[in-house]
Amino acid sequence: MKIGNVDLGEKPVMLAPMEDVTDESFRLICKEMGADMTYTEFVSADALIRNIQATTRKLTIAPGERPTAIQIYGREVGPMVEAARIVEAAGPDIIDINFGCPVKKVAGKGAGAGMLRNVPKMIEITKAVVDAVKLPVTVKTRLGWDHDSKIIVELAEQLQDCGIQALTVHGRTRSQLYSGEADWEMIARVKENPRLTIPLIGNGDITSPERLVEAFAKYGVDGVMVGRATIGAPWIFHDMKQMLHTGTFTPLDDAVKFDLIRRQIRESVDRIDEYRGILHIRRHLAASPLFKGIPDFRATRIEMLRATTLAELEAILDRIQNDIFPTLNQN
C-alpha cells in the first residue's frame, strides 16, 4: 500500500492519532514494536498559527519513527491552509486532516467530526489544503454525524475527488462517540465502491491480533489503524504483526513489557518534568492490560496511580514485578 510516494508495504498496521497519548516517545516505541506508520496528537490549526508552544511541540518527529503523519484540525479554510504549510515545513511524511474527532470541545465547535454536518465546508477545506502543499494529504473521518446520516460511501468519493491520497474511516458515527460497536460492514461498503481508487484504512475496535486479521480478510481494507488498544500496551503491534505474517503469535515476556512501561515513564519525565510527566503517563498505567486481572491488586493499583515522584513509582513497579508477578506464575 502506498500513500503518495510513501510505501507502507502490504497490509500495514498504523498507530492512530490520539490526544495526550501519541507523543514522540510513545510513537517511537510503537514503531519499534512493529507499527508501520505513526500519527501525531491532534494539532489545532488555530493554535499552530498563533505559535502556541504546547502545539508547536507536537510537530517534533524522531527519525526512527518514520513514516509519520502530522494531523491537523480546524473549521475554517484560511487557518487550515496556513497550518498545513507550517506543518509541511516541519517535515512529516504525510499531512492528515482530522474530520473524525467526536469530543465536544472539537466537534461541538464545528471542527473534527463536526464537519460531518457541513460537508461543503469539509470539501472546501480539503481541496484548499491539498492545493496548498506538496506532501500527500489524507483524511480521517467517521461514518456520518448520526445513525440517520451515514454518508461515508458518497463522502469518500468526494474527498477522493479533492485529491487526498488515502482515507481512514472509523466505523462509528459522531453521535456514538466510542459506544456500541464499530460498523465494519459499512467500512467494507466504502471499499467495495468501484470508483474509490485510493487506499482505505479501517479503524475501530481492533483490540486483538485476531480482530486485525479479520479486518483484512473479511472487510478487504488496505490498512488498519489501531487506537485505544495500544494505550498502556505498545507491544500489541508485535503480537498483531506476528499474527498477520505467521498465523500465530508468541506474547512478549512480562519483563519486556515492564521495561517498555518504565521507558515510557522515564521519557515522559525527561520530556516534560517529573510531576507532569508522571501525570501524563497515568493514562497508560490505568489502561495497561499488564495490570489487569491481578487478585487483590486494588490497593496497589491506587498507590501506583497516585505516585507523584519517579522514585516512588519505580519502587511500586519493582514490587509488582518482583513480588506480585512471581506468585501469579506459581498459581
What Rg do the C-alpha atoms of the chain give, in angstroms?
20
For the record, the C-alpha cell of 147 comes out as 445513525
> For 23, what's the count of Cα atoms within 13 Å in the CB-facing half-sphere?
19
Chain-centre distance for alpha carbon 24: 12
Q: Is 101 a catalytic residue?
A: yes
* Measured distance CA(152)–CA(164) in Å, rounded: 15
Of 127, 58, 124, nearest in space to 87 by CA: 58
Burial 120-144 (b: 16+ CB within 10 A, else e): eebbebbbebbebeebbbbbbbbbb
Long-range interactions of 256-264: CB distance < 8 A, separation 24+: 257/233, 257/290, 258/290, 258/317, 258/321, 260/29, 260/33, 260/234, 260/235, 261/232, 261/285, 261/288, 261/290, 261/317, 262/314, 262/317, 263/25, 263/29, 264/25, 264/26, 264/29, 264/234
**Counting Cβ atoms within 10 Å, is residue 303 exposed (0-12), middle (13-18) or buried (19+)?**
middle
Which grid coordinates are listed for 219? 472487510
- Give the active site residue among 101, 190, 244, 260: 101
Exposure string for 190-226, b = 16+ CB within 10 A, e = fewer: bbeeeebebbbbbbbbbbebebbbebbeebebbbbbb
CB 259 within 8 A of CB 291: no
Cα-Cα end-to-end distance for the chain: 45
Contacts of 315 (CB under 8 A, 6+ apart): none
Q: Which residues are catalytic?
A: 101
